[in-house]
């Protein structure tokens, strides 16, 4: 995988930037609330790309749980630039991730 984008200026525009960081590292049903907030965030895709690129193991990033991100990484092991894939791919999952609805990642990546 290529390196994580060094320009993290998008993070200051995140809805969660002014909140308590621990609020993003919740389990179970609490993740739904965090995910819904992510769906309203203007930098959601940048956040998700960063988490996928760095293989962040914990928390909700870009609207996806750690389980969803792990599944996405396993399903697409050849992606080298997640920001580009999220922005440009015609893969149905990439298209769903670009939409403002909570994606059904696990349902899409099951084989």
Token representation of residue 50: 């960063």
Distances (CA, A) of 102 to 18, 49, 57, 70, 106: 22, 16, 20, 17, 12
Find out whether 110 is annotated in a ligand binding site: no
Rounded to whole angstroms, the Cα distance separating 77 from 109 reads 12
Rounded to whole angstroms, the Cα distance separating 80 from 66 reads 19
Find out whether 63 is annotated in a ligand binding site: no
Find out whether 106 is annotated in a ligand binding site: no
Q: Could you tell me which residues are beta bridge partners of residue 61?
A: 64
Residue whose pair of structure tokens reads 């893969």 in the numeric block? 91
Residues at the annotated binding site? 16, 38, 41, 47
Residues at the annotated binding site for [4Fe-4S] cluster? 16, 38, 41, 47
């Amino acid at each position: 995988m290529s390196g994580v984008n060094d320009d993290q200026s998008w993070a200051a525009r995140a809805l969660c930037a002014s909140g308590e960081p621990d609020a993003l590292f919740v389990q179970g049903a609490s993740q739904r609330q965090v995910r819904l907030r992510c769906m309203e965030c203007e930098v959601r895709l940048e956040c998700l790309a960063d988490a996928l690129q760095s293989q962040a193991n914990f928390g909700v990033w870009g609207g996806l749980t750690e389980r969803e991100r792990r599944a996405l990484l396993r399903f697409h092991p050849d992606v080298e630039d997640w920001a580009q894939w999220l922005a440009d791919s015609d893969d149905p999952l990439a298209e769903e991730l670009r939409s403002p609805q909570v994606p059904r990642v696990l349902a899409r990546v099951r084989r």
